[in-house]
Structure 1
Amino acid sequence: MSRLSGMTGFGRADGALHGWSWSVEARSVNGRNLEVRFRGPPGFDSLERLTKAAAQARLSRGQVTVGVQAKSTSDASRLSVNEEVLARYLTLANRLAEDGATPPSADGLLGLRGVLDVPEEAEDAEARTAVEAAMALSIEAALDALASSRQDEGRQLRPVITDFIDRIEALVAAAEGEAVAQVAAIRERFTRRMTELAPDAPGLEDRIFLEAAALATKADVREELDRLTAHVGAARALLDQPPAGRKLDFLMQEFMREANTLCSKSATTALTGIGLELKAVIEQLREQVQNVE
């Protein structure tokens, strides 16, 4: 059985090969669909396609960001200072310092464009391919860690969601009990009003019966309660059939539709109170469902 997953998580993986070292971080937050964003080192453009394919194989929803930070460990030993460019920067910096500007620092000067030279070397194509493949494995490892993190969130969400479903079920049961009393309340209320308005009208008893029956039919909430009961069963089943986020989103709309109809048909204060509490719990459940993949 697949595990319920959330949409918030983090994963990281590191690697090194052939004079290169790198770190990969994968993060995700809630999203209606799956959206993958990639940031990688120059020269490794094909990693973006591989990253998106790997994310799609593991995740179905959420905004996912994958970043790869990489550096060549051999670059430092091949660095040289361009004395001519440095001298120009120094001349300009000293002139500005005479006018009150802050004197330049060594690290600031070395960070200026053109001061440090990295000799061009023909990189071993086979080594480059191997490095790229190793980076791809690190990306997959980071995404695996991200997926695991999202499953941890799912484990925390499941009992919370289950508790809300249980509360909805209990409120539906309470509404069913109150709905039985609603029919008698409608008849009693209508009888009292008719008797007060026209106590001597011919055929009053028959009219009261027919009108009260019509009102009771309009106020019948059994269909709404039956559908709410079915929705409770469907919600529990979806928790065991991930990814269920989209279906649960839709089910929340159906829950709320029936709760609204229940309130509009209510003829007693007690049933209205149950309906309002039911709507509040459904809304709380909906907020939690927004976190489900």
Structure 2
Amino acid sequence: MIRSMTAFARTDGHLDGVDLAWEIRSVNHRYLEISPRLPETLRTLEGAVRERCRNRLSRGKLDVTLRYQEDEADPNLELNEALVKRISEAARRVGDLVMHPGQIDPLEVLRFPGVLKTTRADPEALQSKAVALLDEALDSLLATREREGEQLAKLVLDRLTLIGEQVVIVRAALPRIRDHLRERLRQRVEDVLETADNDRLEQEVVLAAQKMDVDEELDRLEAHVKEVRRVVEKGGQAGRRLDFLMQELNREANTLASKSIDAETTTAAVELKVLIEQMREQIQNIE
């Protein structure tokens, strides 16, 4: 199965008051280019992100973004009771020294550094969760690329069928074109000479036929069509191979157009070039 290089995937998860979300955007590219965007808290995951993407993908430009959000609505707060007791004892002693004991404002104590802290998820557990979510996002991305690849394969195969039909049209027209060429040359000779030299006429017909002979181009077109079909049906990383075959198909179509001396074969050559260009545009998205 061939795969497209264009896709999007997102996965979300939650762990101990932290929301995580991976977003992966993939577009066509000649090689594999990975651009991770990670929060500072999980910056150490960059190597793992690159390795996992390289293991699953071979081509495409990837924007891999991890969104990190701590849950502010329900924070996990931890009170350092030992520190609070020490602060209270120190405050009482200071009050005795200045002979003005008074009362300690609890809110002021809470503002003291280290008294109150938010408990975060265990760093190792958080990284493991993030990596597991990344694998899910890559699974989703690959599934999307495969679904789109199926559509691209169908489009390419449909165009190959139409190309085959144009080759049949040209082959069927060649005998008629050669007969028409012979008659046209004979008429021209008779317009100039009273008696046509049949031997010389046949020589001219042969020379003209050689110039417009496209049997070899048609054979190569059919061979390339068979190879493209084989590559598409085999699947895998076929993009570069298919791109090369589009160049070969286009070369044969151009030669056919340059040798054409008939409106029907000219129309067929133009149609071939249109079909090949339609395939080439879609093949740019194949991995």
Q: Which interval holds the TM-score relative to the shorter structure?
A: 0.7 to 0.9
Q: Which of residues 208, 220, 223 is equivalent to 1:227? A: 220
SS at structure 2 position matched to 1:45: helix
Determine the structure 2 residue equivalent to 1:67.
65
Q: How does 1:160-171 map to 2 (within 5 A)?
A: 160-171=155-166
CA deviation after TM superposition for structure 1 residue 239, in Å: 1.0
Point out where structure 2 has 5 or more consecutive residues left out of the alignment: 79-110
SS at structure 2 position matched to 1:66: strand
CA deviation after TM superposition for structure 1 residue 25, in Å: 1.1
Determine the structure 2 residue equivalent to 1:157.
152
Task: Give the aligned residue type for 1:25.
Answer: E
SS at structure 2 position matched to 1:44: helix
Determine the structure 1 residue equivalent to 2:232.
239
Change (3 A) 1:244 1:266: same
SS at structure 2 position matched to 1:209: helix
Q: Is this contact kept in 2: 1:231–1:255, CA < 8 A?
A: yes
RMSD: 2.8
Q: How does 1:1-293 map to 2 (within 5 A)?
A: 3-73=1-71, 76=75, 127-200=122-195, 204-240=197-233, 241-293=235-287
Superposed CA deviations along residues 29-86 of structure 1, whole A, max 9, x for unmatched, are 222222211100104233222212211222222221110011344895569xxxxxxx
Change (3 A) 1:117 1:291: farther
Superposed CA deviations along residues 165-222 of structure 1, whole A, max 9, x for unmatched, are 1111111111111123222222222222222233457xx2211111211111121100
SS at structure 1 position matched to 2:13: strand
Determine the structure 2 residue equivalent to 1:110.
none
Paired with 2:24 and 2:112, the residues of 1 have a C-alpha distance of 33
Paired with 1:194 and 1:34, the residues of 2 have a C-alpha distance of 64
Misfit runs of 4+, over 6 Å? 116-124
CA deviation after TM superposition for structure 1 residue 121, in Å: 7.7
Point out where structure 1 has 5 or more consecutive residues left out of the alignment: 80-115
Paired with 1:37 and 1:117, the residues of 2 have a C-alpha distance of 41
Q: 234-243 or 215-224: which moved more?
A: 234-243
Change (3 A) 1:162 1:219: same
| Equivalent pairs, count | 252
Task: Give the aligned residue type for 1:218.
Answer: K
Task: State the structure with more CA Rg.
Answer: 2
Task: Give the aligned residue type for 2:147.
Answer: D
Q: Is this contact kept in 2: 1:260–1:275, CA < 8 A?
A: yes
Task: Give the aligned residue type for 1:167.
Answer: L
Q: Is this contact kept in 1: 2:7–2:141, CA < 8 A?
A: yes
Paired with 2:206 and 2:133, the residues of 1 have a C-alpha distance of 71
Paired with 1:237 and 1:118, the residues of 2 have a C-alpha distance of 70
Q: Is this contact kept in 2: 1:235–1:251, CA < 8 A?
A: yes
